[in-house]
């Protein structure tokens, strides 16, 4: 059972498994919104001699059961990456196991390298869901360079696209990850042809676009006043943000295996929706909730990124996060302009922001006289410490 994308790596694997293992290969392609032609992938797999091929449309499930929990958790790995690739791996692994058990497969195969994160995600999830089935990761074994892999593909009559020669691309509806080639030089700007979902900021419209996103219990439910199901909403925000040049991410990332890597992503909808969600949380949660949840969110995104989606700790964190979202209902207004993103307004029936308390008018209902006593107690220990510190530095009187 091979997780098959239709791309270079997994197409080569079909032939490799047939030749090295004398295996009958069953392929499965899981559609998580990567925007690729599933029929073409199936046709390609059959031409390469697979025993069976399965195409699974999991876009709605991915949006509802994987992306929406990530939104609730403000999932940004190392503060930048919306884990668009990470989120899809446990779903793909679960579908692989489901079919493998029905078909009596003796091996579960993925095309991950020994340097990346995906090997961890697949191995851990597959091993947890189907411990009795052998996991095979041929790319870790053969050690081929990308150039050697392309050459091997040509000898086997496997077509190689122009983009595959330049970049390694992985996509879902939550974002595109672009690697290899010129991008490996971390000192150089990504070439414009690496991007597909976003226009260059300087070529975006000259007029800002205002977008209002409505949330209910922590998840987005409407865009510009129009209610939409999860998948359609994400796709719509991808279009809006993409045409305004919003959602390009370029950063140095710490992989699970210890390497630092230069990563380039396109995540238009994720960038906008996560920014809106974080802003709304600050309006409806107490300071204590906001600060504590930041710690929970950081642990949640690490587990998802590090391949521990099926670890019980994630379930525990989900319970807290879901409870915390009960009041995260309202609207956030954002301005998108030439690659920039700015929250310009928000409202909620559960808002803890009270204009009558917060305004600077002398007639405010906030009793300012209370502040003096509060400050006296708030800074008491700080003043005591500094008094002792000063006293300890005074020169001691000499004995007669």
Give the chain's domains with CATH numbers: 2-172 (3.40.50.620), 193-347 (3.90.1260.10)
Catalytic annotation, pick one of 11, 86, 88, 118: 118
Tell me whether residue 89 is one of the annotated catalytic residues: yes
Catalytic annotation, pick one of 11, 88, 168, 172: 168
Tell me whether residue 9 is one of the annotated catalytic residues: yes
Catalytic annotation, pick one of 89, 121, 176, 248: 89
What pLDDT shows up at residue 126?
98
Each of the 400 residues of the chain gets a pLDDT tens digit; together they read 999 988 888 898 999 899 888 999 999 999 999 988 889 899 999 999 999 999 999 999 999 999 999 999 999 999 999 999 999 999 999 999 999 999 999 999 998 888 889 999 999 999 999 999 999 998 888 776 777 888 888 888 887 766 556 888 899 999 999 988 889 999 999 999 999 999 999 999 999 999 999 999 999 999 999 999 999 999 999 999 999 999 999 999 999 999 999 999 999 999 999 999 999 999 999 999 999 999 999 999 999 999 999 999 999 999 999 999 999 999 999 999 999 999 999 999 999 998 777 666 656 677 888 989 999 999 999 999 999 999 988 887 676 6
Tell me whether residue 248 is one of the annotated catalytic residues: no
What pLDDT shows up at residue 400?
62
Question: Whole-prediction pTM value?
Answer: 0.91
Q: How far apart are CA 398 and CA 354, in angstroms?
A: 60
Catalytic annotation, pick one of 5, 9, 176, 248: 9
Return the residue matching tokens 């990850």: 177
């Amino acid at each position: 059972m091979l997780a098959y994308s239709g791309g270079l790596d997994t197409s080569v694997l079909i032939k490799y498994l047939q030749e090295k293992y004398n295996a009958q290969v069953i392929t499965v392609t899981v559609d998580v919104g990567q925007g690729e032609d599933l029929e073409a992938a199936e046709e390609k797999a059959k031409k390469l001699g697979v025993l069976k091929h399965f195409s699974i449309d999991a876009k709605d499930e991915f949006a509802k059961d994987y992306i929406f929990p990530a939104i609730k958790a403000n999932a940004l790995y190392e503060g930048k990456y919306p884990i668009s690739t990470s989120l899809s791996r446990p779903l793909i692994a679960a579908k692989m196991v489901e079919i493998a058990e029905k078909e009596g497969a003796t091996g579960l195969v993925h095309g991950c390298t020994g340097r990346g994160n995906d090997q961890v995600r697949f191995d851990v999830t597959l091993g947890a869901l189907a411990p009795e089935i052998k996991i095979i990761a041929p790319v870790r074994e053969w050690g081929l360079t990308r150039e050697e892999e392309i050459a091997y593909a040509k000898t086997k009559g496997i077509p190689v696209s122009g983009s595959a020669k330049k970049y390694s691309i992985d996509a879902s509806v939550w974002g595109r990850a672009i690697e290899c080639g010129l991008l490996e030089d971390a000192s150089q700007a990504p070439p414009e042809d690496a991007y597909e979902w976003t226009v260059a900021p300087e070529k975006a419209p000259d007029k800002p676009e205002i977008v209002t996103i409505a949330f209910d219990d922590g998840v987005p439910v409407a865009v510009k006043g129009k209610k939409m199901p999860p998948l359609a909403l994400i796709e719509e925000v991808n279009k809006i943000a993409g045409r305004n040049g919003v959602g390009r991410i370029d950063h140095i990332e710490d992989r699970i295996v210890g390497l630092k890597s230069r990563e380039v992503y396109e995540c238009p909808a994720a960038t906008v929706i996560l920014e809106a969600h974080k802003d709304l949380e600050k309006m409806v949660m107490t300071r204590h909730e906001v600060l504590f949840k930041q710690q929970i969110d950081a642990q949640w995104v690490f587990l998802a990124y590090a391949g521990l989606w099926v670890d019980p700790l994630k379930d525990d964190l989900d319970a807290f996060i879901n409870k915390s979202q009960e009041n995260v209902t309202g609207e956030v207004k954002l301005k998108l302009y030439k690659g920039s993103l700015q929250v310009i307004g928000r409202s909620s029936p559960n808002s803890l922001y009270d204009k009558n308390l917060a305004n600077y008018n002398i007639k405010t209902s906030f009793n300012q006289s209370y502040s003096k006593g509060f400050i006296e107690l708030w800074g008491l220990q700080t003043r005591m410490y500094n008094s002792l510190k000063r006293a300890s530095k005074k020169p001691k009187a000499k004995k007669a």
